[in-house]
Amino acid sequence: MGPPERRKTSWTSAGVGMSQGWTILVELGAIIGLFAYAGYRLDRLFGTKPVLFAVLMVVGYASGVYHVWIYIKRKGEAEETKARRGE
């Protein structure tokens, strides 16, 4: 007896959507956090207290949004390719 067949249900679709949502959330938060931390450390190094922190936090936010946009674009292209192939 082989493995059970895969069924497409609303629950599996919801699981895929939740997985993608958490991936986007974690990546966006990590990028913003890393840039903010770098700004904080550079502010302490150069003595420019909130300036570099604020600038790099904004840069981190912009980078995170761009990264999410690329992620979503690639997912859409992969789904279009799948649909063309008839999978």
Residue 40 confidence (pLDDT) = 97
Residue 13 pLDDT > 80: no
Q: What is the mean pLDDT of the chain?
A: 88
Residue 2 pLDDT > 60: no
Distance, CA of 68 to CA of 11 (rounded, Å): 24
Give me 53's structure tokens. Answer: 């922190």
Per-domain boundaries in the chain: 25-85
Residue 5 confidence (pLDDT) = 60
Segment 55-79 mean pLDDT: 95
- Write down the pTM of the prediction: 0.77
Residue 66 confidence (pLDDT) = 97
Distance, CA of 17 to CA of 20 (rounded, Å): 5
